[in-house]
Structure 1
Amino acid sequence: MHGDPNAQGLSGCLQRPLTAIRRQRQDELKTITPTDKDVLVGIDIQNDFCAGGALAVPNGEETVALTNRLARSFENVVLTQDWHPKGHLSFASSHPGKSPLETTDMPYGPQVLWPDHCIQNTKGTAFHDGLEVAHTALIIRKGFRPNIDSYSAFYENDQQTVTGLSGYLRQRGLRRVFLTGLATDFCVQYSALDARKEGFETVVIEDACRAIDIEGSLDAAMAAMLGTGVDIIQSKEIVAIN
């Protein structure tokens, strides 16, 4: 993963089992009413990451209905969209002898190699048909540069190339970022860590996300996010607007 989370915070999280942390969170449920300073960012809720897709996240389609419901409580909504060209460097097919989910070294760091997915202007790259967020103000397309992957809504994986989202939010006076979508341990996590790095209060709505979970990557992601001050909540803590 990119960047080092706050070392002290991460250490504290790792000393406590994540199951205990989650149990404590259930005992500390909040009631959150989003304001005009908050933004909901739906991460990569696309066909290829849902059932039947080229890189289906287990139960990824379950994020759709929750994101739809949550979006009604937010004045400000942004969506991200994985948008790869054919032959993208993150595809295992671009590396002879390599298989999906293997890791290789890139100039910007370790890169998990994926099946070909979310190729521009294909059905797989389209948002899930059930996603109904009519008042989305901005769609951030990422991963369109052929030689670098982009998990985060804020930065490409080189941690230097920006998407423009941070400036967009600041220009509008938005201060707190709520995240839903796919996948918890990759694009949601990267987006959450970068949102914190950019100085935004950051909240991951855990039950409105789903994970790939490669060799413990979900627990590692949760620890990293908690260690940098990301708040992890449940969707029922958001005041619903019907």
Structure 2
Amino acid sequence: MTLSPTTAPLPLDPERDVLIVVDVQPDFMPGGALPVSDGDAVLHPVNALLHRFGHAVATQDWHPADHLSFASQHPGNLPFGIVQLDYGDQIVWPDHCVQGTAGAALHPLLHSDRLRAVFRKGVRRAVDSYSGFVENDRRTPTGLEGYLRGTGARRVFVCGLATDFCVSATAIGAAERGFETWLVGDASRAIAAPEPAGGTSLDRAMAAMAAAGVGTTTSAALLG
């Protein structure tokens, strides 16, 4: 599926528009434990956006070393397979974003001094978390929703890694909670893995975001 972003300028409200930067961490970039192709290309547009928005937050994968989303915890299972956890199907991944490691840090070239808050996710051994709003058990909140409501946020703009997993889950979560939500397409990158039924994980994610009412824009439209 081709991204079809709205390129018309979108004037920003510094009081009620929030940028959500998803998982811009070394482990998701070339050379990392779970690299997204061209993932480091998000740094330039994300940093530009951080200096345009008056209000920005980030999410950060932050797993214990024995996290159950790791294939290493399931003998006989290879990365990218499916296992059953208490809350249902779970993709198992290479070990990544282990708490306290360099790969789990916010990327050193990210202008993180512009962030007002960072929400860590996947911190419990038995539950993974793609969305910045709720963990994969679909019950445990991260605190992001309460934070946004406390600030009076109206619109959110989501970017980062990876479009077809944590970025799309966060964008859909925002839309489901009543926020006007936009994906910043050029400030995000996808895994785009083949799907068993055809197409890719990016196709699936884009369709799901469109169905949830998420719009797609570009950094240029926001930077003016």
TM-score interval, normalised by the smaller of the two chains: over 0.9
* Structure 2 counterpart of 1:32, one-letter code: L
CA contact (8 A) 2:87 2:136 kept: yes
Whole-angstrom distance in 2 between the partners of 1:140 and 1:231: 23
What is the match of residue 230 of structure 1?
A: 214
What is the match of residue 131 of structure 1?
A: 110
2:8 counterpart of 1:30: yes
Whole-angstrom distance in 2 between the partners of 1:102 and 1:88: 15
| Normalised TM-score (structure 1) | 0.87
Deviation >6 Å, runs of 4+: none
Whole-angstrom distance in 1 between the partners of 2:161 and 2:90: 18
| Count of aligned positions | 218
Q: Aligned Cα RMSD in Å?
A: 1.1
Say which of 41, 47, 54 aligns to 2:26. 47
CA contact (8 A) 1:88 1:94 kept: yes
Whole-angstrom distance in 1 between the partners of 2:127 and 2:74: 14
Q: Secondary structure at the match of 1:194?
A: helix
1:55-99 deviation per Cα after TM superposition (whole angstroms, max 9, x unaligned) = 011111111111000111111010111000011000000000001
Q: How far apart are 1:202 and its partner, in Å?
A: 0.5
| Normalised TM-score (structure 2) | 0.94
What is the match of residue 190 of structure 1?
A: 169
Q: Which 5+ residue runs of structure 2 have no aligned equivalent?
A: 195-199
CA contact (8 A) 2:106 2:112 kept: no
1:77-122 deviation per Cα after TM superposition (whole angstroms, max 9, x unaligned) = 1011100001100000000000111112222121110000000001
1:177-219 deviation per Cα after TM superposition (whole angstroms, max 9, x unaligned) = 1011000000001101111111111100011000111211000
Whole-angstrom distance in 2 between the partners of 1:68 and 1:94: 36
Q: Secondary structure at the match of 1:134?
A: helix
* Structure 2 counterpart of 1:218, one-letter code: L
Q: Evaluate the alpha carbon distance shift between residue 34 and residue 74 of structure 1 in structure 2; reply closer, same or farther with a 3 A threshold.
A: same
